[in-house]
Amino acid sequence: MDSITARHHPALDFVRALVRAHRAMERAAEREIRSYGLTPPQFDVLAALGNTEGLPLSEIGKKTLVTAGNITGIVDRLEAGGWVERKRCTQDRRIVYAALTPAGDALFQKIFPMQVQWSDRVLCRGLTPEERDTLTLELRHLAALFQQEADQPEGDPPLQPQEPHHEHV
């Protein structure tokens, strides 16, 4: 492959477009979330705990975009703000739950609908509901492909290309 072809390869163009879209979305979302006095990871944890009786700390990472290693620090800061409290499981004292306090629930009830409206207005602007559904399915498929690649043990041969996957809504 010559250098000009390599620079304009469709896969690289796709990855660049995807990364640029992600970065732009992150910047816009961060500005909105910080206007509530929270960091994006704090908002993510608060949103995961909303409308629940609480979640084990080990489950929060699975329901959010927050890495498992950062959960404790984020919950610490939310707890210091009076929005979250920790509770030990009565059946298994090794399990620690995080739950919203009344102040945390009030904050969640106030800002979560505002964030949903912002997302609808900004992130979905210019897309029909059908386009959003299709894009969501394709992005989930792409995430699964990346996860499959990331889960390959080092030293294993790379995965062979597969036929494109197209689900229709």
d(CA 85, CA 153): 38
d(CA 35, CA 32): 5
Q: Are 58 and 69 in contact (CB under 8 A)?
A: no
pLDDT at 151: 87
pLDDT at 76: 96
What's the DSSP call for residue 9? -
CATH of the domain spanning 38-119, picked from 3.40.50.1000, 3.10.20.30, 1.20.1440.230, 1.10.10.10: 1.10.10.10
Q: Are 100 and 108 in contact (CB under 8 A)?
A: yes
Which residues lie closer than 8 Å to 28 by C-beta, 6 or more apart?
Answer: 122
pLDDT at 61: 87
- Structure tokens that stand for 150 in this block: 């990331």
What's the DSSP call for residue 167? -
Domain boundaries, the chain: 1-35, 38-119
C-alpha pair distances (Å), 110 with each of 37, 42, 63, 86, 122: 13, 15, 21, 22, 19
Q: Which residue has the tokens 């072809």?
A: 5
Q: What is the mean pLDDT of each run of 10 residues along the chain (169 residues)?
A: 63 88 88 88 95 93 88 95 93 91 95 86 82 91 89 71 56
